[in-house]
Amino acid sequence: MATTTKTAAKTASKSSSKTGKMEDSEFHEFFVDELKDIYWAEKHLVKALPKMKKAATSPELAAAFEKHTQETEKHVSTLEQVFGLLGEKVAAKKCDAMAGLLEEAESIISDTDSGTMIRDAGLILAAQKVEHYEIATYGTLRVFAQNMGHDEVADLLTQTLENEKATDVALTEIAVSAVNAEAAAE
């Protein structure tokens, strides 16, 4: 009854894919690799955001960087939780995009004078590029997680995604409410 066995195996693999047992698939491997990439990015942001806070003049912007540093620490621990749920070991893999964005933030700081709103406007630009990169990444990764049946992982990635979106909105508000007009007047 080889046919029956084959059908049973097929059904089993189909139902197991629904419950998220896709650990051997290439797509799963790709997903984990991308998680390592954003994990590297978040860990580096934890170090970069305090530097951006220090460079900021507007108290609102400094407070926003301070707040997002704490939130970014949470993003790091959330990813550690995600690796755990997937049964994968926690690992970081260099994210060239984030490395480039952080380099850009550093050159904005060195190209502008301290105590100016032009620097603050530049810091907001750099920070929003980072947030948009994160939004794109988490938006895609949570869909991957949903497709693979990793519902709890998808929920965790969605929480981080929503926080990145809120940060982006908060930065826009700071730019619009004060920094841009003051920078134009300098």
Residue 37 is a binding residue for Fe ion (CB under 5 A): no
Residue 119 is a binding residue for Fe ion (CB under 5 A): no
Task: Kindly provide the b/e burial profile for residues 5-38, where b requires at least 16 CB atoms within 10 angstroms of the residue's own CB.
Answer: eeeeeeeeeeeeeeebebeeeeebeebbebbbbb
- Nearer Cβ to Fe ion, position 118 or 170? 170
- Nearer Cβ to Fe ion, position 72 or 118? 72
Separation in Å, CA 14 to CA 22, 76, 149 = 10, 33, 12
Query: How far does CA 122 lie from the centroid of its chain?
Result: 21
Query: How far does CA 76 lie from the centroid of its chain?
Result: 9
Interface segment toward Fe ion; rule CB under 5 A; list 48-56, 74-82, 103-111, 169-177 = 74-82
DSSP per-residue string spanning 105-138: HHHHHHHS-TT-HHHHHHHHHHHHHHHHHHHHHH
- Alpha-helix residue ranges (DSSP H) falling in the chain: 2-18, 26-55, 59-85, 96-111, 117-147, 151-174, 180-185
- Nearer Cβ to Fe ion, position 120 or 134? 134
Q: Residue 166 Cβ, how far from Fe ion at the closest point, in Å?
A: 10
Query: How far does CA 48 lie from the centroid of its chain?
Result: 14
- Nearer Cβ to Fe ion, position 31 or 118? 31
Q: Residue 98 Cβ, how far from Fe ion at the closest point, in Å?
A: 10
Residues within window 129-158 making contact with Fe ion, judged by CB under 5 A = 134
Residues within window 154-183 making contact with Fe ion, judged by CB under 5 A = 164
Residue 75 is a binding residue for Fe ion (CB under 5 A): yes
Q: Residue 67 Cβ, how far from Fe ion at the closest point, in Å?
A: 11
Q: Residue 145 Cβ, how far from Fe ion at the closest point, in Å?
A: 16
- Nearer Cβ to Fe ion, position 44 or 75? 75
Residue nearest to Fe ion according to CB distances in the complex? 75
**Site residues (vs Fe ion, CB under 5 A):** 72, 75, 134, 164
